[in-house]
Copies of this chain bind each other. A is one copy, B any other.
Amino acid sequence: MPADRGQSGPPTISEVAAEAGVGRATAARTLGGYGYVGPELRERVLAAAEKLGYRANALARSMSTGVTHTLGVIVADIGNPFFAGVLRGISDTSRARGFDTIVLSTYEDLDEEVAAANVLIDKRVDGVIIASAAVDRREVAHIRAAIDRDIPVVLVDRMVPSLDLDTVVIDNRDAAREAVETLIAAGHRRIGFVWGPPMAEAPATRRDLLAEAARNLWSDQERLRGYLDALDDARIPFDPELVMVGDKTEEHCTQEVARMLALPDRVTAVFCTEAEAVTGTLRALRTAGLSYPRDISLIGFDDNPWASVMDPPLTMIEQPVHDLGAKAAEVLLDILGGADPRHETHVLRSRLITRASVAAPS
């Protein structure tokens, strides 16, 4: 236990120096682990530090060195297992290289994202990883602000074309295409796309849909493209009624799937772009008294323990969440270590885990 010096606040390096009977600089050198210090004085300083319970003030240190040894991370929603996994990848590799990480969740709100960026800038983090990027050109001022201050930025999961930054993503388009192809191979032609762009009403044409998608999250639009790719390859006509638009909430998803299920020529399969969309879809099935894969087939993004214990177990797409984060941290730390930013897009592979939620249409 630290000796109680009637002082106010935690012990400073000066107090340690005094206790050890040496100059400040000597104490600073041994405690900071730099410069030369004789073995004897070194011992005395260490003993004094131990006795007083000294811990370096990271603020003061950063103040004079100009670096904080900490990475700032902005995620869209820390409650989403996808981001939680990415985060773990980031913190594992950054801590392994001696960096702390401070994470801020925007809960999918742009204002929050801007605020988060400012917090990180103000706290002088050495680098920033963003897994929650706005897409619109006018919405990236806060990211540019960081870059202008020479704070390296790496993006994860969501690409921002107008920014030209190192970005780590998965093969969203391929993954979506593979999933939908799987559905098609099983014989489906009426395939719902659940969790689309947040437009007010159904797109009149395929072109409208793509135009709208382009204004939204990058990963979302890639998944939509993959869906369309698969349809095209199989010469299945695009039907705007089979794509969900509007709020991305589980509740709205349930409504939309219910709608697609009530269509004269109803959907026989559904492709979900997110785990929450899967639960929303399942809820709609239950209400409609339908069961999978008998009445309807189902493939969703973001595998998780629940998907595998469902009865029947769900065929899902698994993302390399940990690697996504690890890679991002790696790239960022390399830049901080002096490497030139490559402004590359690093694509990691996802994996379709085949289980039992796909069958031939009834």
The interface of chain A, by Cβ under 8 A from chain B, is 1-2, 9-10, 53, 55-60, 62-63, 66, 68, 78-79, 81, 84-85, 87-88, 91, 100, 102-105, 107, 118-119, 121-124, 144-145, 148-150, 250, 276, 279, 282-283, 286, 291, 304-306, 308-311
Contact = CB atoms under 8 A, between A and B. Distances in A.
A255 to B, nearest CB: 15
B145 A53 contact: yes
A122 B87 contact: no
Nearest to A88: B79
A124 B309 contact: no
Contacts of A306: 279, 304, 306, 310
Contacts of A276: 305
Contact of A84 (B1, B63, B84, B88): B84
Contacts of A310: 306, 310-311
A311 B286 CA distance: 9
Q: So how many copies of this chain end up in the complex?
A: 2
A311 B309 contact: no
A279 B309 contact: yes
A103 B103 contact: yes
A124 B57 contact: yes
A16 B216 CA distance: 38
A88 B104 CA distance: 10
B66 A63 contact: no
Contacts of A107: 88
Given A1-B148, A58-B124, A63-B63, 17 more contacts: A1-B144, A10-B121, A53-B145, A55-B118, A55-B121, A55-B122, A57-B122, A59-B63, A78-B78, A79-B87, A88-B105, A279-B306, A279-B309, A283-B308, A286-B309, A306-B310, A310-B310
A10 to B, nearest CB: 5
A22 B119 CA distance: 27
A56 B100 CA distance: 22
20 contacts: A2-B148, A55-B121, A56-B122, A58-B124, A59-B59, A59-B63, A59-B68, A59-B123, A78-B87, A79-B85, A87-B105, A88-B105, A102-B103, A250-B305, A276-B305, A286-B309, A286-B311, A291-B311, A306-B306, A311-B311
Contacts of A119: 100
Which of A56, A91, A304 lies at the interface centre, i.e. has the most chain B CB atoms within 10 A of its CB? A91
Nearest to A291: B311
A58 B119 CA distance: 9
A283 B313 CA distance: 11
A162 to B, nearest CB: 14
Nearest to A68: B59
A279 B250 contact: no
